[in-house]
Amino acid sequence: MKGIHKEITPLSDNDLFIVLNHPSAKFDYPIHHHSDYEINLVMDTYGKRIVGNSQEEFSELDLVMIGPNIPHAWQGEIIEGNHVITIQFSDKILHYPMLEKRLFQQIKELLYASQQGICFPQETQIEIRDKVLNLTTLSGFQTVIEFLMILHRLSISEKRLLMENIYDTQSIVRTSKSRRIAKVCDYIEKNFDKKIVLSEVAASVNMSESAFSHFFKRKTRSSFIDYVINLRVAKACQMLSETTHSVAEICFQCGFNNLSNFIRVFKKRKGSTPGEYRALMEQMLNKY
């Protein structure tokens, strides 16, 4: 990601997770991303937090879970006694056979939700703070039990997503549990920059247009047209943040065939024009 520091975490193949304990944190790490999951607990200070396209103030206690490759940074005041504890664990956790068991379904859903960044209510923050602090004092197999208890408690807590829908195809396919939906979503993902015709997509899964439209909406909770447009807008956001391509270039590279229509659709879904969105992302990067 252009302008964003890529961090290589100290996780090894033999680690289920690692705990990074930082009393008296200096908050001097730039906005960055890495390939692992992260639970970040910030205590006894205040400041601003950036997670993807979200920027919020925090105070005293802040608990956030972040999925892989989401840019993030905390800009806190250096107050005596401030404390930051970070738990990092591999993105490969989603492929662990154990998570396919019914008992782990809520944790698996937590992992998918974290791909938009998650923050938690005060009650959960306080409870997890005590568990994370306890985790720093444990060793051996007891750390595994406490780590899983933390994930479980977060999975059943109320949550607030920090980022707008990133339109994660894998998440939609997982939820729908349909081979036809998987085939269609894979096709859209690979061809979003080209003309996509409903009749051709429906025929590819041996359905009529009408039957396919009802089936797709029932399985994804989105109309086929909205799904394609939202995916194209998500791709455009990524290109606006990570490339120097002009708005017009991005418009056509994301499958829109009319610039004014692209700007209108983008503003309707994101609340700003593509140019305003890019300027906001650059402002956030320069600030942090």
Q: Which structural domains are found in the chain, ordered by start?
A: 5-161 (2.60.120.10), 169-287 (1.10.10.60)
Ranges of beta strands (E only) in the chain are 5-6, 18-23, 32-33, 37-51, 54-66, 72-76, 83-89, 118-119, 160-161
pLDDT score, position 99: 85
Residue that has been written with the tokens 């993807």 in this structure: 52
pTM score: 0.64
pLDDT score, position 1: 46
pLDDT score, position 100: 81
Q: What is the pLDDT along the chain (288 residues), one digit of tens a residue?
A: 445 678 889 999 899 999 999 999 999 888 888 889 999 999 999 999 988 878 889 999 999 999 888 889 998 899 999 999 999 999 888 778 888 888 998 898 898 788 789 999 999 999 999 999 999 999 999 999 999 999 999 999 999 888 765 555 555 555 556 788 888 988 998 999 999 999 999 999 999 999 999 998 888 778 899 889 988 988 898 888 788 999 999 999 999 999 999 999 998 877 678 988 788 777 655 554
CA pair distance 37, 15, nearest whole angstrom: 13
Read off the tokens for 137: 């004092």
pLDDT score, position 198: 94
Measured CA distances, 35 to 26, 88, 91, 129 (Å): 23, 10, 7, 24
Which is nearest to 82 in space by CA: 64, 62, 65? 62
Query: Torsion angle, CA of 94/193/239/65, rounded to 10 degrees?
Result: -20
CA pair distance 164, 183, nearest whole angstrom: 25
pLDDT score, position 288: 44
